[in-house]
């Protein structure tokens, strides 16, 4: 989760998860590559959609795993009432912060958009094992656990959640790095989260979030969720 107290914009990027941007008082403009921009109080951006985004005033951005919402939902605008419902569930009337109730916000999103499809247990196991922090399991080991070859498992994960397993692993490392930025430098965050160096982390952050690690470190609120 990110929260900013003023206007903010991000460069072109593509994330492997759902992004939900909520502006209680302003507008969020989303510009998908090759398509007309949309502006609304809030927006749900699907995984793998390359886009830029800008908020005209304070906003909160949530990130949800790609299987948490219906894949057919696509790019979805949210009106002011929906934005306030989600923010109320998230913060219980308080400012966004470490105590935010992300599970309640996700439940409110499900109520607004419909239940997601059930995840294949083999896919759930593969994702959990491949994205764990201590350290992630090798793909061959995970494939053996579920009785599939590594290529077949990769294909099953991509077909089920719409995102390659390797990108989910990269996203997990980036989340770990974002959490580490709270107490250390960008270089230290890169080293502790499995990136080759600070430049590798910076390229990944720009590619998946449209912003630099330094700007994330300055964000008033961030949570690695």
pLDDT tens, residue by residue, 134-148: 788 899 999 999 999
**What pTM was estimated for this model as a whole?**
0.91
What integer pLDDT is reported at residue 220 of this predicted model? 53
| 125 or 225, higher pLDDT | 125
What integer pLDDT is reported at residue 218 of this predicted model? 63
Q: How far apart are CA 5 and CA 46, in angstroms?
A: 24
Q: Which two tokens stand for residue 221?
A: 């609120």
pLDDT tens, residue by residue, 148-198: 999 999 999 999 999 999 999 999 999 999 989 877 889 999 998 989 999
What residue spans define the domains of the chain?
A: 2-113, 121-217
Q: How far apart are CA 35 and CA 48, in angstroms?
A: 15
* CATH number for the segment(s) 121-217: 1.10.10.60
The CATH classification of domain 2-113, taken from the options 1.10.3470, 2.60.120, 3.90.930, 3.30.780: 2.60.120
**pLDDT of residue 59 exceeding 50:** yes
């Amino acid at each position: 989760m990110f929260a900013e107290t003023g206007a903010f914009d991000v460069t072109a990027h593509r994330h492997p998860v759902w992004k939900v941007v909520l502006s209680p008082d302003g507008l969020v403009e989303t510009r998908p590559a090759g398509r007309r921009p949309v502006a609304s109080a809030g927006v749900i951006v699907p995984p793998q959609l390359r886009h830029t985004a800008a908020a005209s005033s304070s906003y909160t951005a949530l990130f949800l795993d790609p299987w948490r919402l219906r894949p057919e939902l696509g790019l979805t605008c949210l009106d002011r009432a929906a934005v306030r419902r989600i923010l109320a569930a998230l913060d219980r009337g308080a400012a966004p912060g470490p105590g935010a109730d992300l599970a309640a916000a996700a439940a409110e999103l499900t109520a607004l958009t419909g239940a997601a499809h059930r995840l294949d247990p083999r896919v759930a196991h593969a994702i959990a094992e491949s994205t764990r922090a201590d350290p992630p399991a090798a793909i061959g080991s995970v494939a053996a656990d579920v009785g599939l070859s590594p290529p077949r498992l990769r294909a099953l994960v991509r077909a089920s959640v719409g995102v390659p397993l390797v990108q989910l692993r990269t996203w997990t490392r980036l989340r770990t790095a974002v959490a580490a930025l709270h107490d250390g430098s960008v270089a230290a965050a890169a080293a502790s989260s499995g990136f080759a160096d600070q430049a590798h982390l910076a390229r990944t952050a720009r590619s998946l979030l449209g912003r630099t690690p330094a700007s994330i470190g300055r964000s008033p609120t961030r949570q690695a969720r």
